[in-house]
Homo-oligomer: A and B are copies of this chain.
């Protein structure tokens, strides 16, 4: 076997850098650091004793030898991808790794997963919580459900729904404070949650046409929406929340939406996955189920109360 193939791992960085003629863009595509790309290209050039890139200001242009090698590497990689496709298409049965934010996971998704398991017992869903948008192309994660406006152009993005965001409080708070108009809301403790897709109370006051006098209001900041909702259910104040995470509680009478005023625009929830994933069959099973669950819960793409 050709001993130069010992350094075959370096060719991934080469292919990405050659495609972009930029190490940092290559690094982004591969989800590694620019320095790693730089070092790997240097190593490859040393192993082969061939200069593959030439610096042009900030750009790294391919040498003619670099272009030649790029052609061969791209063809070889295409063959390998095709070979993988021929031997593998994962069956529907197996593991599926799902990533989403902590609040959506704990309040909405996980409590419903028993229904998915009942319908698809051969698929094992593993839920990974993260505050960030995780890379579903270059990690072992298969599907992301993200709130907020960030999208990842390298994978398939599907808007699941745009959820209205409004204040919620306990029924007791309304009774004890005789809460009847938006102007009175400033007299209660306002709860602000950090985390993905954070909402702005300023935004809500603007929409409601009420002046927000911060210095005279009582604030409570919590690190997750779940904590905010728990505080509200304990009677402790008013919290802004997306409908999907509180609708069950409102239906059950544990929470109340005191005013029919929503933040505009609402909160986007997006589904992301890699269309080239060998687990595509499994991903699509999950995706169909998820959309059905949302429809059953009366949650559609642009739901305005």
Which A residues are closer than 8 A to B by beta carbons? 1-6, 8-9, 11-12, 15-16, 29-30, 48-50, 52, 65-66, 68-69, 71-73, 75-77, 79-84, 86-88, 90, 94, 137-138, 274, 276, 278
CB closest residue in chain B, given A274: B3
A73 touches B83 (CB 8 A): yes
Q: Cβ of A81 and Cβ of B11 under 8 Å apart?
A: no
A86→B1 CA distance, assembly (Å):
17
8 smallest CB-CB distances across A and B, nearest first, come from: A72-B83, A76-B76, A65-B87, A76-B79, A9-B9, A2-B81, A76-B80, A4-B84
Q: Which of A9, A29, A71 has the most CB of B within 10 A?
A: A9
Contact between chains at B83 and A278 (CB < 8 Å): no
- The answer for the CA separation of A276 and B137 in the assembled complex, in Å, is 37
Interface residue SS majority, chain A: helix
A48 touches B87 (CB 8 A): yes
Instruction: Give, as a whole number of angstroms, the nearest-CB distance from A61 to chain B.
Output: 16
Please give, as numbers and ranges, the residues of chain B lying within 8 Å of A12 by CB-CB distance.
Answer: 1, 5-6, 8
Contacts of A79 in B (CB 8 A): 72, 75-76, 79
Which residues does chain B contribute within 8 Å of A77, judged by CB atoms?
A: 1-2, 5, 76
